[in-house]
Amino acid sequence: MSRCYFITVCLSLVVCFAGHNAFADEVALEQRISRLERTLEAQPLVEMLRKLAALQQDVQQLRGEQEQLVYSMEGIKKRQRDLYLDIDQRLTALEKSGVANNAADKPVANNTSGNSDTGAITDDRKELADYQGAFEILRARRYDDAIVAFKSYVERYPNGKYSANAKYWLGEANYVTRRFPVAIEELNRVLKEHPQSNKVQDALLKIGFSYYELKQWPEARNSLQRLVDVYPNSTAGKLARKRLDQMDADGR
C-alpha cells in the first residue's frame, strides 16, 4: 500500500467521523428546540406577559380611582364643615341679636282694642313657647329632632306669627343634614307663602346652595342670580355672588 493511498484513506475516515458528529449535534439541537417549543405551548410566555401588562394597567387605574375618591371625600368633608359653620354662624348671630329672648320678654298684644282676652294671650304664649322650644333644639344641633319640632309647630299653627321662620328653619335643618330636595321644598314654601318675610333672601340662598350640592347647575344659578338681582347688597346677596363667581370659574 503506497503512502499516498494511506493518507487518502485516513482523510476519508476523518471526514466521515466529523460528518457523523455534526449530524449528531444537529439532531440534538433540533430535539432541544422541540422541547422548548413544547414548553412554550404549555405555558405561553407571550400570553403571560400580556396578562401581566394588563394587571399592571388595572393597578394603575385603581390607584388613580383611589386618589380621585380620596379627593372627592375631602371635598365632601369640606362642604359638610362649611354647612355646619354656616348654620352655626347664623345661630350665633341670632343669639347675639337677642331675637328669641326679646320675643319671650315682650308682652303679646291683644288683637282687640277693648278688653284683653285671656284665652288668646294663653294661646299666643303657647305658640311662642312651642316655637322657641323647637329653636332651642336646633341651636343644640339636634337637627333631626328640630325637624320634628318645627313640623309640629307648622301643623299646629298654620298661620302662626313665626310660621315663616319655622318653615325656613325646617329647610335649614334639612340642608345641613344634606336632605337637599326636602330643603328646597321647605324653603320654597317660604317664598310662596311668605313673600314679605325677611327670610326670603336666606331661603333663596339656601335653595341655590341646595341645587348646587345636587349638581343641578341651571337651577342653582337661577336662584342665586335672582337673589343677587333683588338683594345685591345683603349678606345673602354677597354670598350668592361669591358662589356664582365660583361656578363661572369652574365652568358650571
What string of DSSP letters covers 175-223? HHTT-HHHHHHHHHHHHHH-TTSTTHHHHHHHHHHHHHHTT-HHHHHHH
What's the confidence (pLDDT) of residue 124?
Answer: 81
Q: Would 112 be classed as within a structural domain? A: no
For residue 102, what pLDDT band results from cuts at 50, 70 and 90? very low
Q: What is the mean pLDDT of the chain?
A: 76
Residue 196 covered by a domain? yes
Residue 94 has pLDDT above 80, yes or no: no
User: Which residue would you say has higher pLDDT here, 76 or 100?
Assistant: 76
* Banded pLDDT at 177 (limits 50, 70, 90): very high
Band of pLDDT at residue 25, cut at 50, 70 and 90 = low
Residue 237 lies in a domain: yes
Q: Supply the DSSP symbol for 1.
A: -
Q: Is residue 45 part of a domain?
A: no
pLDDT tens for each residue of 144-164: 999 999 999 999 998 899 999
- Give residue 186's domain range: 60-103+122-250
Task: Report how many domains make up the chain.
Answer: 1
**pLDDT, tens digit, 9 for 90 and up, residues 110-121:** 444 444 455 556
Contact 153, 160 (CB under 8 A): yes
The band of 182, judged by pLDDT with boundaries at 50, 70 and 90, is: very high
Residue 25 lies in a domain: no
Specify if 227 maps to a domain: yes
Note the pLDDT of residue 31.
72
What pTM value is reported for the model? Answer: 0.58
Over residues 75-87, the mean pLDDT reads 56
| pLDDT of the residue at 155 | 94
Q: Is 113 inside a domain boundary? A: no
pLDDT at 108: 39
Task: Give domain status of residue 5, yes or no.
Answer: no
CATH code for position 241: 1.25.40.10
Q: Give the Cα separation of 95 and 235 in Å (integer).
A: 18
Q: CB–CB of 170/137 below 8 Å?
A: no
